[in-house]
Amino acid sequence: MSAAARPITVLLVEDDPGDVLLIREAFVDHKLENTLLVASDGVEALELLRSPDCQRPDLVLLDLNLPRKDGREVLREIKADEALRAIPVVVLTTSDAEEDILRSYDLHANAYVTKPVDFERFIDVVRQIDEFFESVVKLPGRGY
């Protein structure tokens, strides 16, 4: 972590326990000091985001294909909510369908990343996303 970088809170919205484990490992392996919150479906994610008891995340990593409420609906609700819309949302999903990419950006996703199938590449992509938002991007409410 660079001298200018500060730990951030990341909300991972992911129903695949294997992917959650990989992302946790990426944080540990690369000594990322960020807090990782996990929601396993869209309903849980929105409840977490709206809870006064939960630390507000600086970044949301959002899968599209989720139980109970899919990622597109979650993205729509986040970006429609005045209290949440400033939180950057990175869609991190297996789909590379043009329709999903266009729809995600239409719903105001901040980025769209297709999950690599290769373990090492997956870990590297997560590290790069985290590093970008931790070290490069100016996030609201961070007191820079």
Residue 1 located in a structural domain: no
Q: In what order do the strands lie in the sheet with 89-93?
A: 35-39, 9-13, 59-62, 89-93, 111-114
Residue 71 located in a structural domain: yes
Mean pLDDT of the chain: 86
First to last CA, the chain: 16
Residue 90 located in a structural domain: yes
Residue 77 located in a structural domain: yes
Q: Is the pLDDT of residue 144 over 50?
A: no
**CATH number, position 93:** 3.40.50.2300
Residue 139 located in a structural domain: no
Residue 4 located in a structural domain: no
Which structural domain, as residue segments, surrounds residue 111?
Answer: 9-134
What are the structure tokens assigned to 80, written together? 């429609």
For residue 32, what pLDDT is reported?
A: 59
Residue 2 located in a structural domain: no
State pLDDT tens for residues 92-143: 988 999 999 999 999 999 999 998 888 888 888 888 887 787 777 766 665 4
For residue 76, what pLDDT is reported?
A: 97
What are the structure tokens assigned to 62, written together? 């959002």
Residue 82 located in a structural domain: yes
Mean pLDDT along residues 79-90: 94
The confidence band for 77, taking pLDDT boundaries of 50, 70 and 90, is: very high
For residue 131, what pLDDT is reported?
A: 77
Which has more pLDDT, 3 or 63?
A: 63
Look at the chain and report how many structural domains it folds into.
Answer: 1
C-alpha 89/C-alpha 72 separation (Å) is 11
